[in-house]
Structure formats: C-alpha cells, structure tokens
Amino acid sequence: ILCKLFVFLVAYLAVLGWGLSCLHQLRWMGGLSLTGVVAVVMLARRWFGQGSRCWQSLAKPLAFWPFILVAGIALLGVLLYPPVMLDSLTYRLPRIFIWLQNNGLQHFATADERLNYMPQTWELVTLPLTQLAGDHLVWCWTFASWIVLYLVAYDWALEINGDGKKSQIMAFLASTSTFALLQGASSASDLFAGVLALLALRFIREFERTRNWTEINWAVLSFCIAAGTKPHFAVFGLPLVIWFFASPSKPWRTFRWAWSPVLLAVWLLCSPAPSFVLNYQTYGSWAGPGQDYSMRGKGPGWNLLLGSAMIAWQNLQPPVNPVAPLLDPPIERAVEHSGLDKNVPRFNLQ
C-alpha cells in the first residue's frame, strides 16, 4: 500500500505539473501540490483502515535497528550538506528555477542543451520542494525511493523464506549496496527511476497472485514514470506488452478497457512522451540535438556482447579502486581496438 501511495503522489504531481504548464500557471504548483498530499492521507486512511493491524504490518519491516541507524546517518548527511552532484547542479536544479521564471515548461536558449532535451518527470515532482525550501529538500524523493527499495526487497524476501527477521536482513543488504546508499543520500534520479521499475515488476507479480485489474494500471504507471525519468527504461515496454497479451493469466481480458482513455492520458503525461514532443518541435529529433542512439561499431551483435560484458564489469567494481589509474589506460586501449564505440560508457576501474 505504501508503494502505491508513493507512485500515486509522483504521478499526481507529474500530471499537475504538465497541466499547469499548459495553462502557463506553473508557479501555482507548490500550493496545489498540497491537494496531492491530502489525497494521499485520505487514501492511506481508506486502504490501511482505522485498525492497528495494517499499520503494524508496515512498521514491522522498518523496525530493524541497523536500517534505522543507516537511515539516520543518511538523513543527517542530506540535512547538513547541500546537493553536490554534477548533473543536479548543471541542469536538473537550474531548469526548475528557469521553468518557474517562465511559468511553464518550454525550451529556451541555453549553452547546455541538457536543460531542454532531458526528460522532465523528476524535476516536475521536485519542483514543489524547491518552491518550499530551495535546494534543501531536493533529496526527499531519492531518500523515499531508498526506503521503498528496502520495503520491496523485504516483501520479496518474505515471500521466499517466510521469516520476518531473515527478510529484514536480506532487505537491509539490498538497500545498503553501494549504488543504493550513494544515490539514496543525494539528489540523483537513478535510484528513483530504478525503484519505480522494480515496483512495476512487483505490481505485475501482485496481479498474477490476485487477478486484480488495478495492479495492471499501477504496473504501467510505475513503468511510465521510470521511463519519464530515465528514457533508457523504455526498453522494458516491450516485455510489458508481451506479458499483457501473452501471459497465461490473460491480463488483457481482466483489464477494464472502459478506463483506457483516462489511464492512457495519465500514462502519457508521466512518460517521456511530452519530452519527445518538445524535442521534436525544437530540434527535429525526439531524442534531442545530436543524440544518435543507433548501434555503432562492428555490428549490433558485437556491440551487444561488449556492452553486456561492460555492464557486468562495471557493476563488479568497488566504489574506490586504488589501482584504477594504472590499469585504466591499457584496458581502454584494448576495448577501443576491439571495435566498441568510444561514445558509449567505457570499461574502467573507477
């Protein structure tokens, strides 16, 4: 339930932001976003009920002192120090204040085109926080995503082993990985998008268990928000469509098609579609200026092989590697000779 409330509030703010932008009234975003908070409180009271059992079921996974300790340290860090991530300082946060000055989301003249062509979902849902406290609360969505990651990991672990204590340990290990910790205490958007993609999988699993058609909507909505934050997640759209039409559970039969016009509008506003439209109007390309995503090198198969090896290699690296300066140059020269395009992320130990 908490995960659904998280997705609902994010989707509500994204739709509200695009609506106000179309009316050139984006400055009202901060005040009107409170209606979303009120809606979340009302839904929580309705879904959890007045009894204490549901609230206790939520508190049980969170009542784990190592998790509370790490969460407290992370919270202390984001409260004491301002955002320092390069992407946040160079285009994510500046574009929010420019949108407020322009009273809407439109492209503008800039030396850094990322201010225009990058997707806007994370910035839209962060905009009310910047109106409230400048850059002091921009970490909230990522920190909330970190907590949701812990809860999703706990839920999956509990399904597998049925032991609450072991599930807490497994969820703690998942949420304290290098990526999760470094992202959870920052203003980055990668963890935010990754957790939403995980929630889409979780909602699909929930549909397979309950056959409740609303789980389909939550799954698609989570996927759209993830893709609206990081367009690379759009590749998961194909397996989602295949599941919808080819799964033995036949989701397409259970789905309430009468709701599709409304849901489709919400899905599109939460997806990267509005960003693609603006990019095409400005640059004549949905991806933005000079963004060529075609396969390059010796061929698609060769690039797929090297790219897969590169992802595995980079994910095995520790956060700090003292031998990286010595080994990186020969590794990169070897990769360059192998035919992997230099414009994609490279093999390295850093």
Please list the alpha-helical segments (H only) found in 63-120.
65-80, 86-87, 93-102, 114-117
Distances (CA, A) of 170 to 66, 151, 153, 159, 302: 12, 11, 7, 12, 36
Mean pLDDT of 95-115: 87
Q: Is the pLDDT of residue 230 over 50?
A: yes
Report the range out of 44-58, 217-231, 302-316 with the highest average pLDDT: 217-231
**Burial environment of residue 230 by CB neighbours within 10 A (0 to 12, 13 to 18, 19 or more):** buried
Q: Is the pLDDT of residue 188 over 80?
A: yes
Amino acid (one-letter) located at 3: C
Cβ atoms of residues 132 and 49 within 8 Å:
no
Q: What's the token pair of residue 77?
A: 């860090």
The mean of the pLDDT values for the chain is 82
Mean pLDDT of 314-326: 73
**What's the pLDDT score for residue 176?**
87
Distance, CA of 59 to CA of 4 (rounded, Å): 16
**What's the pLDDT score for residue 296?**
47
Q: What's the token pair of residue 22?
A: 């179309």
| Pick from 93-107, 116-130, 327-341: least confident | 327-341
Cβ atoms of residues 141 and 147 within 8 Å:
no
Q: What's the token pair of residue 59?
A: 């508190």
SS3 of residue 169 by DSSP:
helix
Confidence of residue 319 (pLDDT cuts 50, 70, 90): low
Q: Is the pLDDT of residue 294 over 50?
A: no
Q: Which long-range contacts (CB under 8 A, 24 or more apart) does 14-21 make?
A: 14/121, 14/124, 14/125, 14/225, 14/228, 14/269, 14/270, 15/266, 15/269, 15/270, 17/105, 17/120, 17/124, 17/125, 17/127, 18/105, 18/124, 18/269, 18/274, 20/104, 21/99, 21/104, 21/105, 21/106
Compute the CA torsion angle 293, 294, 295, 300 (nearest 10 deg). 120
Distance, CA of 57 to CA of 48 (rounded, Å): 10
Distance, CA of 177 to CA of 155 (rounded, Å): 18
| Pick from 110-119, 179-188, 328-337: least confident | 328-337
Q: What's the token pair of residue 236?
A: 């998961």
Distance, CA of 12 to CA of 319 (rounded, Å): 36
Distance, CA of 339 to CA of 305 (rounded, Å): 11
Cβ atoms of residues 175 and 156 within 8 Å:
no
Residues near 58 by beta carbon (within 8 Å), at least 6 away in sequence: 1, 2, 48
Sign of the alpha-carbon dihedral angle for 290, 293, 297, 298? negative
Instruction: State the pTM of this model.
Output: 0.80
Distance, CA of 151 to CA of 279 (rounded, Å): 36
Residues near 247 by beta carbon (within 8 Å), at least 6 away in sequence: 208
Sign of the alpha-carbon dihedral angle for 277, 283, 285, 290? negative
Distance, CA of 190 to CA of 233 (rounded, Å): 11
Residues near 100 by beta carbon (within 8 Å), at least 6 away in sequence: 26, 27, 127, 130, 131
Distance, CA of 134 to CA of 130 (rounded, Å): 4
